[in-house]
Amino acid sequence: MYELLAFFGDYAEEYEDKARRMLDEYPWDVIVNYMDDGVREETHTEYAPCDNETFLLAYMAGHITKFGEDFEIN
């Protein structure tokens, strides 16, 4: 988990909070539905099995890397 938080640097706590809020607000299947298939599969290959919060943080990092923007559900 430390390497994931290190990815976010000074904003690690904010991204942890964002992931927790997202998990509290939406069912897991809704969150997964908004994920990019390629990034989700890469995240699964690298991190599974893990808890949903770790997976979501890893996905968020992959999303930023691929798209240059935060993962949002809208």
Q: Read out DSSP for the chain?
A: -HHHHHHTGGGHHHHHHHHHHHHHHS-HHHHHHHS-HHHHHHHHHHH-S--HHHHHHHHHHHHHHHHSS-----
Q: Which one, of 3, 63, 15, lies nearest residue 39 by Cα?
A: 63
What is the predicted pLDDT for the residue at 24? 98
Q: Give CA–CA dist 6/33, Å, rounded.
A: 26
Rounded to two decimals, the pTM is 0.93
Predicted local confidence at residue 2, as pLDDT: 66
pLDDT digits (tens, 9 = 90+) for 18-35: 999 999 999 999 999 999
> For the chain, what is the mean pLDDT?
95
